[in-house]
Amino acid sequence: MADTDGNIDSHDYYIDTPQTAPTFPLKGCQSLDWGMKNRLANIFDPKTGRTVMLAVDHGYFMGPTTGLERIDVTINPLLPYANTLMCTRGILRSTTPPTFNKGIVLRASGGPSILKEMSNEHIAVDMEDALRLNISAVAVQVFIGGEYETQSVNNMTRLVDAGNRYGVPVLGVTAVGKQMVRDAKYMRLATRICAELGCSYVKTYYVEKDFDTVTAACPVPIVIAGGKKLPELDALTMAHNAIQQGAAGVDMGRNIFQSDAPTAMIQAVSKVVHEDMPPKEAFEYFETLKNA
Ligand code: 5RP
């Protein structure tokens, strides 16, 4: 029998206090179900509504690229500073500590290597296996204008359907073919298609001119890829410009793990993303950490 001694028969129902309805901090995500929002909150810091995703999925088509030869040695020490890790299930199972308790964004498309036509990708992960791995989102490459455009869009919509069944957000990753012009017009087209067809958020590249029109025209959050390695000040400037023009974070790989000081760089990027730190100040912060 339950011990009821000392129970006080008094209740406060806060009759005069309307039940609160907290708003969800991510653009365009208000109508998503609880599970989907909860997963997104593992990716985007609820305090800022922004994210520093550490992208290390390059091996799925590039093999052991510079900086990712030994992910256990070079990447695991960076995990405390990332909001989210973006990787393949192979790396997750073989190398990532299961004690990592932030969001995992799982690379879910693949097929051709750098030796082949890159846009010929298929879905590479079953949603059931993604759920077994307790991931927070799946990522699919979308090749708008590419040779296999329709196939890659079909990969995306199939993952969106599977994700909606289980409450798993899909990140649409816009891949720009070498022959295509990387401008705001293309990015508007590609990101909007991903959002219209159901992605919860979209990754694209930053463009110098009119990037704010890309974020404005996309009804869900945008994160930017880092792209090829730049000098640290330039990479921090790019991240800063993207955030100031409406991006909700970065999904950055090479500009972090190929830096001379990756631990310092990811912390400097985090200051830019979450604290709006100006690039020069963030670069000084990077140098201070690097030389400590
Ligand atoms: C590869 C990817 C990468 O995750 C993405 O490009 C981010 O990495 P980086 O900052 O090195 O460009 O999607 O297809």
pLDDT in tens, 204-216: 999 999 999 999 9
Question: Rounded CA gap, 127 and 135, in Å?
Answer: 10
Does residue 240 have a pLDDT over 80? yes
Nearest ligand 1 atom to alpha carbon 139: 13
Please give the distance, rounded to the nearest whole angstrom, from the Cα atom of residue 198 to the centre of ligand 1: 21
Please give the distance, rounded to the nearest whole angstrom, from the Cα atom of residue 252 to the centre of ligand 1: 7
Q: In residues, how long is the chain?
A: 292
Residue nearest to atom 13 of ligand 1 (CA): 173
> What pLDDT shows up at residue 1?
64
- Residue positions annotated with a catalytic role: 203
Pocket, ligand 1, Cβ cutoff 6 A: 55, 57-58, 86, 173, 225-227, 251-255
Strand partners, 203: 173, 223
Q: How many CB atoms lie within 10 A of CB 234?
A: 13
Question: 70 pLDDT band (50/70/90 cuts)?
Answer: very high
Does residue 123 have a pLDDT over 70? yes
> What pLDDT shows up at residue 11?
87
- For residue 32, give Cα distances in angstroms to 26, 36, 167, 168: 10, 6, 9, 10
The angle at the Cα of 131, spanning 149 to 251, to the nearest 5 degrees, equals: 55
Q: Pick from 51, 53, 57 the residue to mutate for probing ligand 1's pocket: most ligand atoms within 8 Å of its CB.
A: 57
Residue nearest to atom 4 of ligand 1 (CA): 55
Residue 45: DSSP 8-state: B
Please give the distance, rounded to the nearest whole angstrom, from the Cα atom of residue 122 to the centre of ligand 1: 18
